[in-house]
Structure 1
Amino acid sequence: MRETRVFDGTHLRASLFNPGQSRLFVSFRQRTAEAGQFSRAQAVRTFTRAGFSHLHLQSRLNDWYINPDTAALEAALQAFSAAFDEVAAMGFSMGGYAALRFARALNLSRLVAVSPQISISPEHVPFDRRYRKHADGFDPEQGALAGRGHPVQGAVLADPFRPADLVHAEMIQMVFPGLAIARLAGGGHPATQVLRQGRGFAALQQLLLHGGAAAQGAVALHRPARRNSPVYWQHLAAQAEKFGRKQLAQQARQRHMQVAVGKAPENAGR
């Protein structure tokens, strides 16, 4: 599908697919090992086949989209999104943050943000040191979500086994009260790892596509997917070990070995 550049800066890029529709889906590049260069943008067929235009945003660096192009992209998105009746988005980690940061400019209607951050600035999140190496050039004022709330509906997905991710989700909800928190235990970072292993990610896209209750729907998809997910049992074992629950940790490790080699009995874990 042909790509049209809506914004083409030194630091940020916006690529459009399937133009001319009344509804828009927006995706975002997350933190990547390819930082330093833009990736080849591709259409998300789930949405273009359903009659959405698709806009993909990228930051060339792992800078959480806060750079000399931020203000210009924000203005371009505000003008561009005005033509659409409905705007839906999905973003992961750094991409989830970007969806929140540009929610007002995009006039977002619906959002699924997976393990996003409210900020990476030590000033805003002194409890989270994971992204400090990326925070040197992060402008706390330009990157702050406080004061940039928007009445978007949807969900923030987070793994409660990752306490920092859950705190980010709770702080985000204070700014965006229309976003419910979906606690996907053992989902990892991003919190959809179990869903991807259980082939439930397409169903999550469908929830966003059709405007379903994303938080409740995500939890409902996650629960049965845990049963045969190596990621879930690996994370559960680590969590149980952390809290001294040795028997549960041993059981989870055994279950992990079973599902990892495809020998898990059908009724186990129910």
Structure 2
Amino acid sequence: MKIAVIGGSGQFGSDIVRAARARQLGVKVLTHQDCDVRDRASLDRALADIGPGDIVVNTAAMHKTDECQLRPAAAVEVNVHGAYHAALAAASRGATPVYISTDYVFDGSKRAPYVESDAVLPLQVYGSTKAAGEALVRLVSPHYIVRVSSLFGIAGSSGKGGNFVETMVARGKGGERPRVVDDIISSPTSTADAAELLIGLIERKAPPGAYHLSNAGAASWREFADEIFRQIGVRVRSEPIASKDMMGLRRPAYSALASEKLGKLGLAARPWREGLRDYLAAKGYVK
């Protein structure tokens, strides 16, 4: 079995590649220079050596929420059409597509962790395009839809200029007391942990469908920031601010994820604080 990872040099993709190689699985890394999910022909060329029994993971996305709101047509091209092109290109070769999605497909009204069977109801363009991408991928069978939340990984997010953890580490070490939103709650997730769960699904030949692969637990962005400060040993604490005073775009107030499926496969998501601890250790911020 070979796993092709579209976006394999990105924040999540690079950890999927790392986890697959650690299991001695064949891996094909595809970057934006190798293929463009908006162009089916480029995908067919890039996946020419992919065949039956293989896996194609599509991590490519336009995920800056404000940019998606300003450029909805561009977001549709990548997150909707691109998702379908990648899924079809995989299926046409007998491979199984994996589409990486987001907690932003939910509206946040539940106020308890969302599970795979909950109905989607996005609030903005980004979430709407990812939900539409999911709907098209579901037309291709078999498939996996993987939802994750508030990612942080060693590679950082090129589209966002790093990640939240790195921003808070820099501010904490600089002695700043940053203002951080305290009324938006999600599941902070290590890409390394999410990648391990994804490879676990693949190795177990899990039933097709949607899976939530975020770290366990929930936290506001302020709680997340203060835990970063605590773990790196700085005395800084953040100052709370309401999302309405800092974010122009509406976001789900509660989008923590949980899984009703992983336990049946013998898999379990680690608490997010443990994922954060290992990330900080890998980056050399803690011993």
TM-score (norm 1): 0.41
TM-score (norm 2): 0.39
| Higher RCO (C-alpha 8 Å, min separation 6) | 2
